[in-house]
């Protein structure tokens, strides 16, 4: 049963990253095929910790989230990190960073966006988009549509 839960989390992370099983397999080093990823997602194959770490990095999530071992941390105020103005998050390199509420919302919007929108956001952030203001307005409009807010 545990392998199935991990498989569900792998599939969720993969689809949120806009990757097919084949595309994810290509991002991983080693002998992991799209068929292996499919089996892992169905709970029919257990993956090594190294492979899970690579999947996490390729999909932009933490290895702990794939394993279902994330826990809310409490600060000195007794509030959970998610209820504070800023929260601490571990990056794929294991370092801790603070994330503001705005950054968290941007990340949520990015993860909810389709693959084309994600590519455009990356172009904007790299300074490659010539019409950044128009593209950004379009992206924000899409995000508003996704969340049903005005």
Report the alpha-carbon distance of residue 9 to residue 67 in Å, rounded. 8
CA angle 102–105–111, rounded 5-degree value: 140
Length of the chain: 150
Q: Which residues contact 61 (CB under 8 A, 6 or more apart)?
A: 13, 16
Instruction: Kindly state whether residue 128 falls inside one of the protein's structural domains.
Output: yes
Instruction: Kindly state whether residue 14 falls inside one of the protein's structural domains.
Output: yes
Q: Which residues contact 65 (CB under 8 A, 6 or more apart)?
A: 9, 13, 56
Instruction: Kindly state whether residue 150 falls inside one of the protein's structural domains.
Output: yes
Report the alpha-carbon distance of residue 103 to residue 28 in Å, rounded. 28
Domain boundary among 20, 37, 67: 67
- For residue 4, what are its two tokens? 């199935």
Q: For each of the chain's 150 residues, which pLDDT tens digit applies?
A: 576 788 999 999 999 889 999 999 999 987 899 999 999 999 999 988 889 999 998 998 888 888 876 544 334 333 333 333 445 555 555 556 677 777 777 888 888 888 888 888 787 777 776 666 566 666 666 555 555 554
Instruction: Kindly state whether residue 72 falls inside one of the protein's structural domains.
Output: no
Range of the domain at 126: 83-150
Domains: count for the chain: 2
Half-sphere exposure of 108 (CA within 13 A, CB side): 10
Instruction: Kindly state whether residue 75 falls inside one of the protein's structural domains.
Output: no
Q: Residue 143 region, left (φ>0) first, then alpha (ψ -120 to 50), else beta?
A: alpha
Domain boundary among 13, 34, 67: 67
Instruction: Kindly state whether residue 63 falls inside one of the protein's structural domains.
Output: yes
Residues 88 and 128 reside in one and the same domain:
yes
Report the alpha-carbon distance of residue 118 to residue 17 in Å, rounded. 9
Instruction: Kindly state whether residue 55 falls inside one of the protein's structural domains.
Output: yes
Residues 88 and 150 reside in one and the same domain:
yes
Query: How many helices and strands, by DSSP H and E, does the chain display?
Result: 8, 2
Residues 96 and 49 reside in one and the same domain:
no
Domain boundary among 67, 98, 115: 67
Residues 87 and 43 reside in one and the same domain:
no
What pLDDT score was predicted for residue 134? 64
Instruction: Kindly state whether residue 59 falls inside one of the protein's structural domains.
Output: yes
Residues 23 and 52 reside in one and the same domain:
yes
């Amino acid at each position: 049963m545990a392998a199935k839960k991990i498989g569900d989390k792998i599939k969720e992370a993969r689809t949120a990253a806009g990757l097919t099983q084949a595309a994810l397999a290509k991002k991983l080093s080693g002998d992991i095929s799209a068929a292996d990823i499919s089996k892992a997602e169905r709970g029919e194959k257990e993956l090594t910790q190294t492979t899970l770490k690579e999947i996490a990095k390729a999909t932009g999530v933490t290895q702990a989230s794939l394993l279902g071992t994330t826990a809310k941390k409490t600060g000195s105020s007794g509030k959970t990190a998610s209820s504070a103005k800023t929260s601490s998050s571990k990056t794929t390199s294991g370092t801790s960073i603070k994330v503001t509420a705005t950054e968290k919302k941007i990340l949520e919007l990015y993860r909810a966006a389709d693959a084309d929108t994600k590519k455009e956001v990356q172009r904007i952030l790299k300074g490659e988009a010539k019409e950044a203001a128009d593209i950004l307005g379009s992206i924000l409009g899409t995000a508003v549509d996704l969340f049903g807010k005005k």
